[in-house]
């Protein structure tokens, strides 16, 4: 399966934005990893890149604040496993539904987004 990357954004208690980009490769054993994390200007850069690359941005102030302290390249901490697992389940289900719609549109020779059904 391909690498999945999902930045999360939120605010630190002082009101400074926090952002974290995570990656999970299920074919490799191990926990999701923090690709990039930052507060303030670095958070804005992470979010700008995610938007430019059309990467899903999940807004969760608490999670972003916690993970923004994790060093880049490190596995996510155990206390975040459940939250990240739920987020990944949502993203994989969304990807699967989009793929099904695109396949239906292709079969019907319709433009993407007109695959019929929801």
Domain ranges (residues) in the chain: 4-107
pLDDT tens profile 37-80: 999 999 999 999 999 998 888 888 888 888 888 999 999 998 88
Percent of the chain residues past pLDDT 70, beyond the cut: 80
Chain-centroid distance of CA 51 in Å reads 11
Supply the pLDDT for residue 113.
61
Supply the pLDDT for residue 100.
76
CATH superfamily, domain 4-107, is: secretion proteins EscU (3.40.1690.10)
Please state, rounded to an integer, the average pLDDT across all residues of the chain: 78
Supply the pLDDT for residue 114.
59
Supply the pLDDT for residue 17.
85
117 contacts 110 by C-beta, under 8 angstroms: no
Helices (H) and strands (E) in the chain, counts: 3, 4
Q: Is the pLDDT of residue 117 over 70?
A: no
68 contacts 20 by C-beta, under 8 angstroms: yes
* Dihedral, CA of residue 112, residue 96, residue 20 and residue 28, to nearest 10: -130
pLDDT tens profile 21-37: 988 887 887 888 999 99
The confidence band for 4, taking pLDDT boundaries of 50, 70 and 90, is very low
């Amino acid at each position: 399966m391909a690498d999945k990357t999902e930045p999360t954004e939120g605010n630190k208690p002082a009101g400074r934005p926090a952002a974290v980009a995570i990656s999970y490769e299920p074919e490799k054993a191990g926990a999701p990893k923090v690709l990039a994390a930052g507060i303030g200007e670095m958070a804005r850069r992470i979010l700008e890149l995610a938007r430019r690359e059309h990467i899903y941005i999940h807004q969760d102030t608490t999670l972003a604040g916690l993970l923004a302290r994790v060093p880049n390249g490190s596995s996510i901490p155990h206390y975040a496993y459940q939250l990240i697992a739920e987020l990944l389940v949502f993203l994989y289900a969304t990807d699967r539904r989009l793929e099904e719609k695109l396949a239906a549109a292709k079969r019907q020779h319709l433009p993407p987004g007109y695959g019929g059904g929801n």
